[in-house]
Chains A and B, each alone.
Chain A
């Protein structure tokens, strides 16, 4: 028999955290999240992800922010970080102004086509930076040293990935140890929206004044600080339904009630519609959203500001264009962790967003893993046939670096690996060995020539970025030869 629901919450939360971590470390599916689902719909126009968001909205309208308590891996992670501290908690100031302002800021920027605020406020993104940037390489190192099962994900450490992951972990740990669910009640735009829904939800929690003896046990275990003993109120907007208070109350004074039922006390004191401070507040929020949208339009990649040009780098197939991808990618690093070719890298000083680095690997021709995993839709879903002709860059041949040209060494590594037949080794009169020749019409910029090129210090094949991903020629059509008749059974022996 479920008494408080805390046990159930803990079980579900543990499963969600474990599966999210396993998802990043072992290339397994990550539990779908509300915030990324909305971003995915905005970025791709697909309606399917909205089902996830709708489910979360419904759940929140019925029971309050149970999503925040147990289904959001970042929320659960904060509890996991803070739980060994066993700190006695107290009521917290309601950081209304801060969270509504951040929501307005985020919404304004996203409406203007720039997902920048989500890079540090969308919970799965923050979780991903931490899991893929820091934990995955860390665990890969531990596994190598101790013989534990190695992660399936890309555990190669990168300076920028480690830095971003460490920053995320540090910030989260400080906030969680200081004020537990501060991120969820003051910063997270997803939490803020769900809070507004929960405030008007069906099933709410309240303190029953006739039973409450003000012992303060509930306040000491509340991670959001949403209980105010003085007024005997529980703020359903901030409450994440951890059920801790229900579990510890000695008098069962924390009770569920259905909104609208006669005799039930309102969860939050109602503001009068004519309240001038409320009006000012709403105008302020609207203003914040408008200013944010205007700034985003000006500053976003491809915007009108002089510095708004997106960084020139190779982006994954399905990114569309540098402008689109730079505006839409939140940097959750799930694609980096899942890339079987280990060629996707976190942003760094040269290219501040996720990109392909052909000194580390090559984009596998038959693979479209990143486009199937991207939770925010920054990498659009792309079919394999389209991916195999999607030009994400253009190969550049540097004869002065090529050992076949300069040292007359038989090599051919580039042409051998080229999956579209864009590169071939051609024997020129007077030169002792064949040298590479590029047919640009077939090149998709996949780096299968660049990565294996043995020339050093600089490779003889490099790939230059293209601003917009386009369709390369169809190699099957372009390289079509007259079909050879199938050999007959009784033909002459060839040997």
Chain B
């Protein structure tokens, strides 16, 4: 082994242990062995979030004064809020306001979109709503917005370009919208993490479900808020018309990304064994699919 090779191996090993240390140290199952998952229903997205975050100890339990926050909604498509393909803009605004009220030094919002970035940011209503609430909306459609990271624990995607804002943030809040998905079957919290990675072609080429699970190892969200107010039940993830939408008026909140997705499946009535990335996430020790291991709080708002 020459020096260069040694240094390379050392670097990869360090990166790998860093990621592992982070996963174990962050205490995935808080409290007496159970992970709390909050399900709220029957209100508008803003009030669903207000009730739900209360049950998780309020925004102050996640954001300490002076910390920088990333809010990562789903802004993938050039569609209007009513078409339900993106996260509700008022929800992104409310999370931004609460994070700033909790003392956050700043809130950054971005998503690596599928359609033209400018059009998605604008027509989803998210850029305007987030900016009005005080967030900084940054682009994610240029390779310069990303930085390369490696991850030894990943199964397929051992190297990825990850959005700079995500790497810089102290606190990361994942705010997906719940949808039926032609390829991945369901898109919610875990699938939303494709939007922090630059190279989607690699992910599609190399076993998409595995790459979805791998992507979360690069930076696990501290809080997941699944917007299931409008749920796209057919023709997802883009949708063809508002006939694909059912107003379920649900929201699921948890620190555990796998648990949140597991419960989201019940809202769109789909079997967990057909969504392979959930088990892959569990194998990565990102969370649990076992409802018995969850402390589920149900709230009628």
- Which A residues are within 8 Å of any B CB, using their own CB? 340-341, 364-367, 403, 409-413, 415-421, 423-425, 434, 452, 454-455, 475-476, 479-481, 483-484, 486-487, 489, 493-495
Contact = CB atoms under 8 A, between A and B. Distances in A.
Interface residues of B, number: 45
Nearest to A152: B118
A409 B207 contact: yes
B278 interface: no
B116 A410 contact: no
A494 B39 CA distance: 10
Contacts of A364: 78, 115-116, 119
B200 interface: yes
Contacts, number: 114
B182 A425 contact: yes
18 contacts: A366-B123, A367-B78, A403-B204, A409-B208, A410-B208, A410-B209, A411-B183, A411-B205, A412-B204, A412-B208, A413-B204, A416-B182, A416-B238, A417-B114, A423-B182, A493-B41, A493-B298, A494-B267
Interface string B230-269: 0001110110110100111110100000000001001101
Contacts of B41: 493
A421 B240 contact: yes
Q: Give the residue among B79, B201, B250 with the most A Cβ atoms within 10 A.
A: B201
A419 B235 CA distance: 9
B119 A417 contact: no
A454 B119 contact: no
- Classify the secondary structure of A's interface with B: loop
Contact of B114 (A415, A416, A421, A476): A416
- Classify the secondary structure of B's interface with A: mixed
Contacts of A484: 233, 246
A367 B116 contact: yes
B182 A487 contact: no
Q: Give the residue among B116, B182, B233 with the most A Cβ atoms within 10 A.
A: B182
Contacts of A417: 114, 238
A424 B185 CA distance: 11
Given A425-B183, A434-B183, A495 B267 contact: yes
Given A416-B238, A481-B243, A493-B41, 9 more contacts: A366-B119, A366-B123, A410-B276, A419-B240, A421-B235, A452-B114, A487-B246, A489-B42, A495-B263
A340 B116 contact: yes
A481 B244 CA distance: 8
Interface in B187-207: 200-202, 204-207
Nearest to B123: A366
A139 to B, nearest CB: 17
A220 B190 CA distance: 74
B256 to A, nearest CB: 14
